[in-house]
Amino acid sequence: MSPAPFVTFEGIEGSGKTTQVRLLSDYLTKRGISHRVTREPGGTPLADEIRSLLLSRREEFVFPETELLLYEAARAQHVRAVILPALSSGQAVLCDRFYDATVAYQESARGLDGESVDRFNAFASGGLSPDLTFYLDVDPEEGYLRIRGRGTRPDRIESEKMEFHRKVREGYLSLLERHPGRIVRIEGSHPADDVFRRVCETVSARLGW
């Protein structure tokens, strides 16, 4: 385990990760637990620029290999500039997505080979692994309705076909089987407060928060 806990949130589009990260951050602030909230792709000015490149809709076809390398480039910068310094200074880190997303999206949904994805994930993260990962499981149709409900134009990845989002979910479910000790599945279709109750029970039992 790192000097302070590194906690990540994963799930398909609209699964409620950002909502839960915000609720957990408020909870930690009230208890005086020092922490940093961040997200992937993003978290530094350069990584945020890469995020814009990745999520903007474009005419040009983006090859899965190109997409993988851009996500990993953003991660390499984010880990070294933000996550590792925070953990070393004793701050917990709550991160909205990390390398499990690359397995679910670029390997399971885009079809890149697992060996390459694992190798680039390890290279970009410098061997850093989350101590605890919440996987918020929602049906892709429900996630889609939530995204539509926001009233904003879907980004390049949100606009993918439903089949793509089903494969992302399958990718997460197979990760859950491979890492049962680290990844905790929470039923994400329940009301946000109920989901948060489960998050709290888990961080209390696992991290003493």
Q: Which is nearer to ligand T5A, 96 or 137 (CB)?
A: 96
Q: Which is nearer to ligand T5A, 34 or 52 (CB)?
A: 52
Phi, psi of 179 (to 5 degrees): -130, 60
DSSP 83: I
Classify burial at 191, counting beta carbons within 10 Å of its beta carbon; exposed 0-12, middle 13-18, buried 19 or more. exposed
How near is the Cβ of 1 to ligand T5A at its closest, in Å?
A: 22
Q: Which is nearer to ligand T5A, 14 or 208 (CB)?
A: 14
How near is the Cβ of 146 to ligand T5A at its closest, in Å?
A: 4
Q: Which is nearer to ligand T5A, 137 or 158 (CB)?
A: 158
Of the candidates 102, 169, 96, 95, the one whose C-alpha atom is nearest the C-alpha of residue 137 is: 169
How near is the Cβ of 29 to ligand T5A at its closest, in Å?
A: 18
Establish how many alpha carbons lie within 13 A of residue 27's alpha carbon, considering only the half-sphere containing its beta carbon: 16
Q: Which is nearer to ligand T5A, 94 or 195 (CB)?
A: 195
How near is the Cβ of 90 to ligand T5A at its closest, in Å?
A: 25
Binding-site ranges for ligand T5A (CB under 6 A): 11, 13-19, 40-41, 71, 96-97, 101-102, 105-106, 146-147, 149-150, 157-158, 191-192, 195
How near is the Cβ of 117 to ligand T5A at its closest, in Å?
A: 9
Paired strand residues for 8: 95, 133
How near is the Cβ of 27 to ligand T5A at its closest, in Å?
A: 16
CA distance 77 to 85: 12
Q: Which is nearer to ligand T5A, 15 or 77 (CB)?
A: 15
CB neighbours of 3 closer than 8 A, spacing ≥ 6? 87, 88, 90
Paired strand residues for 183: 133
CA distance 144 to 159: 9
Of the candidates 19, 57, 7, the one whose C-alpha atom is nearest the C-alpha of residue 147 is: 19
